[in-house]
Structure 1
Amino acid sequence: MAADSGPALERMPVDRLKRVGPRMLERLQRLRIRSVQDLLFHLPYRYQDRSRLHALRDLCDGDEALVEGVVADAQISQGRRRSLKVWLCDDGGSLMLRFFHFTTSQLESMGPGQCLRCFGEVRQGPQSLEMVHPEVQHRFDAGTVAVGQAMTPVYPSTEGMQQVTWRGLTDQALALLRRDPRTLHDWVPAQLLAPLHLPPLGEALVYLHRPPPEAPLEQLAERAHPAFLRLAFEEMLAHQLALRRLRRARRRLRAPPLNVRGDLRRQLLRGLPFGLTGAQQRVLDEIAADLGRSEPMMRLLQGDVGSGKTVVAALAALQAVEAGFQAAIMAPTELLSEQHLRNLSRWLAPLGVSVAWLSGRHKGAERRGILADIAGGDAAVVVGTHALFQDEVRFHRLGLAMIDEQHRFGVHQRLRLRGKGEQDGLTPHQLIMTATPIPRSLAMAVYADLDLSVIDELPPGRTPISTVAVPDTRRDEVIERVRTACAAGRQAYWVCTLVEESEALQAQAAEDTAAALRESLPELRVGLVHGRIKAADREPVMQAFAAGELDLLVATTVIEVGVDVPNASLMIIENPERLGLAQLHQLRGRVGRGTVQSYCLLLYHPPLGATARERLGILRKEVSGFAIADADLRLRGAGEVLGTRQAGMAQFRLADPLRDQALMQAAQQGADRMLEHWPEHVEPLIHRWLGEREECGQV
């Protein structure tokens, strides 16, 4: 049965639900929610306990609390950013409610004397504790909490979508499902479910969206409840089925075998001022063997920050060039591509190998000349950004396509680059590189159709970064540390982090920090980058920092994947307790690129819980990204560690391949049984979970 001939909820557009207009539909589509079925599979990622009221005087920074009180005052603040401030009071304390987005009716409903019940996260504001955009209730029985409120779902969201909206939409979808469970087809045969003791699909969805008051909160939070495992199993089954298709398709492709004597590689190695590490040599041998075969290489090169992936890429490119083919390397930013250009030109030009660079900045006659060199084969190695897969780019004979930091690109972009090299029935080899460490124990379970190479050894002579945890009560001392470092001619990063917030609030935090630091450090040149700034506008700021024209760069985690700035020797990371260890390690890797001692200060907000203390302790002690990734996996689980999407990695929405290993084995066996006994269920099950990703070869 085809996916588009399935039952009603699979075909019912989500805008058939009440209050879903064009604007909300656009927001839902950002999260790939197009049908009512998609909405039902958009599950809560946690649950809030609203079983008790908190007195305002007892609130602490970081609390997530249900409060009620009377409005003492409400006014619009016309500061640097317009906001509505509402002062809420009870018998013993007060709290500010702050709204950056509000309507006239909201202002009127929160006037002095109004009784409000609010739920949200408490934060320390400039003058007092406050809640930013709390959920507000106007009608309630003062001092009492309904039992049914104890387990409130919290959904992954996007800007403009409040939690009360999600609950209203899912109420409607669940009503349709309860009215007729047959409207959502269960494609998993009962024979596969019975041995696992898992509930039917509809029952599992209802339970997860609206758990009963007596539901085990801890089991739900750990995603270990049978209702959740039911959906995780179905997702893993869909991935296994898609993988079997992908492997069959790959076996049908052919690539040019790049068998050479290796003269160019030997010349480069003789000219390098350093020798390869054992890990680099092992990985290079794996790549060279792949390139010599007639089946296209699809290999992921994983290496810690500074492990020497670029020189391995250069040596792989020389194998293609010596065989009479071109090699291309694509990077996510102009700055990173320019860095690759400098390195490759320095290494390859003495060998007589031409290196071309194509980016968005090339215009007119200069661009036409570069395109002609690529199309004519005069450019043996081509370095570029997204510009490489634009329509007017034509390769003469592309044998090897390399992508750096693949997770910054969409899969369609990677496939378009590969497609540009398809000639005479041959497909170019692909090498995909990443500095994001994934534990070995996890990698083999979740990498889809890629062979894996790991550089797990750093070059000798690197000075380890000294990592120190500092409470934010010593913020003034940290600012002085920045002043001293920059006065000595060094540069520094200041990274602002927030979680579970919109990009707008993350940007606001970075902007506020930059303004405060400019005021405290007027003698320094301070730059700012965050996710709300367009990439084209971020790039000049990053380039200015790399060129030494800025002393201090204030940023969000958009700098996680960056370039070498050897002069940057100090990094401050605010609220490090809110990030995973692997991401903290990636950020820390922006310093320590030169020869001087570098420092990373973790500016945390006390008090720290036991887990947070353990995590920051691991980061202080460990320098290996792989050791850190293993610790991150142990502390947070596979689902969190895989937050950064990797090339060719099975991108699970719900399943955790490490936690759910028994289910993974059952899914592998179940996929074989489905293909044999229920082949008509395969396509709709894959489409439900992977949709367009499976169609374009990305599981």
Structure 2
Amino acid sequence: MELLVDTPVTCLKGVGEAMAEKLARVGLENLQDVLFHLPTRYQDRTRVTPIGALRPGQDAVVVGTVAAADVVMGRRRSLLVRLQDGTGALSLRFYHFSMAQKTALARGTLVRCYGEVRPGASGLEIYHPEYRAQNADEPVAVEERLTAIYPATEGLTQQRLRSLVQQALAYLSPASLPEWLPENLRRHYRLGPLADAVRYLHQPPPDADTLQLQEGEHWTQQRLAFEELLAHQLSMQRMREQMQAQKAPPLPAPRHLPGKLLAGLGFQPTGAQRRVGAEISYDLQQSLPMLRLVQGDVGAGKTLVAAIAALQAIEAGYQVALMAPTEILAEQHFLNFSKWFAPLGIEVAWLAGKLKGKARTAALEQIAGGTPMVVGTHALFQAEVQFHNLALAIIDEQHRFGVQQRLALREKGINGQLSPHQLIMTATPIPRTLAMSAYADLDTSIIDELPPGRTPVNTVVLPDSRRADVVERVRAACLEGRQAYWVCTLIEESEELTCQAAQTTFEELQLALGELRVGLVHGRMKPAEKAAIMQQFKDAELQLLVATTVIEVGVDVPNASLMIIENPERLGLAQLHQLRGRVGRGSTASHCVLLYHAPLSQIGRERLAIMRDTSDGFIIAEKDLELRGPGEMLGTRQTGLLQFRVADLMRDNHLLPAVRDAALQLLQEHPQHVSPLLDRWLRHGQQYAQV
């Protein structure tokens, strides 16, 4: 029997070339694709509900006799049909109708209809029901199974999708959809047959537990979620194996440079920094490429740990590249590393997209000539950038770089042969749930203590009707010698949004706070302008900085102890936490004011309450994950990395430990099943795992 995955959709009735193209656009190319396009919900059309038993919000099949059909003139002209069945009366309302329709729904006509019951002006109503007239003597047609509602796409109606699925189900059998999970593994984890699960999900019987199906907790959904999470885990494992099949230059433990750096800084690393530093140092001494993710809350001192790792490679005679996602952050790193490394006699090169002409040529020559430390944006990935002997790549804020870009680093290694070690840093704490799945290819270290002298930030939540009080608070803080940030979430006025634009806010605050020196930075300014304003703020030439979220990462001004964030309800929790981390970097008590625009949604209220009540990045990350979902939180919506079809990381996180064990078992005992599984779940799974 031919496999579903090898059977094109063109074998189905009604699928010609044009329809096949339409289906291909949404990823439905073969029968397996069609059957893995699963319903999002179900309607129960298996029984007739008496009108007297209807409840608002219910979807129901109703049969009744037309008592009246009138055209009603309200705000919009509508056709109102009164239906009775002996137990009660119901109105059917049509806003789009023809006079022929009115005539067909004459008094005394028996009608079977289906739709959602709502409270209306004349009691319960169904708007635009699906309906048809019945003969009094013919039996009322009801469905034998629950009706599936599919993720709708342009040009594909529910009717069409159901018809395609119906036809595809005729081809479904254990032979056409093989089990790639061995029987002992399925028994161990109590996983039912795959073909049965797929059939059930398209055609649940009338007595199916609809609540369980709605929650995604039915055994059939869990069976598919398990297999999908397993495929994802295997792709990460395979990627890790491929990276570790390469060789990396082993870097001996350093004897001199880190000690000199610390002596010059005049402070000692925290216990957590030392522990993580030791883990990195051990990895770097191996001839396998290090793949390590370092998480640390805002201000935990990740940069120092990265600098010590860089010195291990430099002392061994190699080059180090540090990449950051934005020019502001890259520049910040460049200044930090230059300041730290100059006393050690180590040269630091700089490369960003904005470098042009002679300056760019000079930078490229420096890098190719072997300058030990190179800092830049992802311009460092470009083909023309040739390193002399790159042994360590440090990537800041990993979730802004795609997995593909990390893999491309191989080509930048020594002679394209030895792969550089990779150290990835993030100040966005990643919940364990997510790390186990999204970063299964990386070892993880956590810097879980803040350096002494960091003060917790006191957070208050206020409506923007209190704006005048907040402006006075800023004035008082700045006149006492402190500095403040005022963060806006848009650059220019937009009519739909109530956000105060940064430009307008800047002008208003300049007027209101005439005696203060106010600056403005936003993402549309030229990098040089931005850098100049940031420098003025750092040097305390400016007392108040009005900014968009470009200051989210990496900006370090210890004297800034007050931050106002306007419209915080528009930002994710992780982003709010990052922004708040720009204050509280000195010894003065620091404050963050979340100035929201009323009214707030329920979720909006919850989110701002979390920000007010905790400054623990991991708790915030867990909540962010619950409220926003993994793709949005990791910034991977675009990469497709976490676009699960059935699985849901929050709902199914209890499966992850078993999934990890199953992945190891499969790799050891049934390696030949790995590729078909990847093909099944990660449409282009092969390429993804073998970039």
TM-score over 0.5 for the pair: yes
Deviations 1:165-219 (A, max 9, x none): 45846664443222122668635458466764557469659958x9999987765
- Distance (whole Å) between structure 2 residues aligned to residue 672 and residue 565 of structure 1: 47
Partner of 1:328: 321
The answer on 1:285 being equivalent to 2:267 is no
Deviations 1:546-568 (A, max 9, x none): 23478554536x65445335565
1:469 and 2:451 equivalent? no
Q: CA deviation at 1:315?
A: 1.0
Aligned residue number for residue 228 of structure 1: 221
Aligned-pair CA distance for 1:275: 1.4
| Bigger mean CA deviation after superposition, 685-694 or 367-376 | 685-694
Partner of 1:346: 339
Report Cα offsets for 1:217-252 as digits up to 9, x if no partner. Answer: 765564434443233112112123334433443442
Tell me which residue corresponds to 1:267. 260
1:506 and 1:186 mapped to 2: Cα distance? 52
Using the TM superposition, give the Cα deviation of residue 363 of structure 1 relative to its aligned residue in structure 2, in angstroms: 1.8
Distance 1:570 1:544, change over 3 A: farther
Q: In 1, are the aligned partners of 2:9 and 2:20 still within 8 Å (CA)?
A: no
**Equivalent residue pairs, number:** 594
Q: Distance in 2 between matches of 1:649 and 1:289?
A: 33
Q: Is the 8 A contact 1:328 1:382 kept in 2?
A: yes
Q: Distance in 2 between matches of 1:52 and 1:290?
A: 62
Equivalent of 2:451 in 452, 459, 465: 459
Q: How do residues 142-181 of structure 1 correspond to structure 2 at under 5 angstroms?
A: 143-145=125-127, 165=153, 168=156, 172-181=160-169
Structure 2 counterparts to residues 91-110 of structure 1, below 5 A: none
Aligned residue in 2 for 1:159: none
One-letter amino acid of the counterpart of residue 329, structure 1: L
Give the conservation status (yes or no) of the 8 Å contact 2:291–2:422: yes
Q: Where in structure 2 are the equivalents of 1:119-134 lying within 5 Å?
A: none
Q: Do the aligned partners of residues 493 and 637 (structure 1) sit closer, same or farther apart at CA in structure 2, a change above 3 Å counting? A: closer
State the match for 1:412 in structure 2: 404
Q: Which of 237, 256, 275 does residue 230 from structure 2 map onto? A: 237
Secondary structure of residue in 2 paired with 1:371: helix
Distance 1:332 1:440 in 2: 24
- Stretches of structure 2 that go unaligned for 5 or more consecutive residues are 45-54, 58-71, 79-93, 98-121, 132-145, 513-517
Please identify the structure whose Cα radius of gyration is greater. 2
**1:267 shift after superposition:** 0.7
1:575-614 alignment runs, 5 A limit: 576=568, 581-594=573-586, 596-604=588-596
* 2:531 is equivalent to residue 543 of structure 1: yes
Letter in 1 for 2:590: S
Which residue identity does 1:425 align to in structure 2?
A: Q
**How far off its partner does 1:288 sit?**
0.9
Aligned equivalent of 2:511, options 515, 520, 523 = 523
Instruction: Tell me the equivalent position of 2:655.
Output: 663
Q: Distance in 2 between matches of 1:677 and 1:182?
A: 33
Amino acid corresponding to residue 629 of structure 1 in structure 2 = A
- What's 1:686 paired with? 678
| TM-score, structure 2 normalization | 0.70
The one-letter code sitting in structure 1 at the alignment partner of 2:6 is G
Task: Give the drift of 1:376.
Answer: 1.5
Shift of 1:359: 1.0
> In structure 2, what is the equivalent of residue 258 of structure 1?
251
Structure 1: runs of 5 or more not aligned = 54-68, 73-87, 91-113, 118-140, 156-163, 498-502
Taking a change above 3 Å as real, the CA distance of residues 560 and 447 of structure 1, as seen in their structure-2 partners, is same
- Cα RMSD of the aligned pairs, angstroms, is 5.1
Distance 1:479 1:201 in 2: 64
> Which position in structure 2 is the counterpart of 1:8?
8
TM-score, structure 1 as length reference:
0.69
Q: Match of 1:7, as an amino acid?
A: T
Structure-2 change in CA distance of 1:594 and 1:425 (3 Å) = same
Alignment of 1:173-572 (within 5 A): 173-181=161-169, 186-189=177-180, 191=183, 196=190, 198=192, 200=194, 204=198, 207=201, 219=212, 222-377=215-370, 379-423=371-415, 425-440=417-432, 443-444=435-436, 447-478=439-470, 481=473, 490-496=483-489, 509=497, 513-514=501-502, 517=505, 520-521=508-509, 523=511, 527=520, 529=522, 539=527, 542-543=530-531, 545-548=533-536, 551-553=544-546, 555=548, 560-566=552-558, 568-572=560-564
Q: Deviations over 1:639-692 (max 9, x none)?
A: 47954459x998462534564355335544554665678765532321343355
Q: Flag the 1:624–1:541 CA change in 2: closer, same or farther, 3 A.
A: farther
- Provide Cα deviations, 1:414-443, integer angstroms capped at 9, x if missing partner: 222332114373221111111111234664
Assess if the C-alpha contact under 8 Å between 2:397 and 2:427 holds in 1: yes
For residues 374-409 of structure 1, what are the alpha-carbon distances to aligned partners after superposition, in whole Å with 9 as ceiling and x for unaligned? 1121x1100111111111111111111111111111
How far, CA to CA, are the matches of 2:316 and 2:11 in structure 1?
51
Q: For 1:318-346, what per-residue CA distance to the aligned partner results, in whole angstroms no more than 9, with x for missing partners?
A: 11111011111011111111111111011
What letter matches 1:387 in structure 2?
A
- The 1:610/1:369 distance shift into structure 2, 3 A limit, reads closer
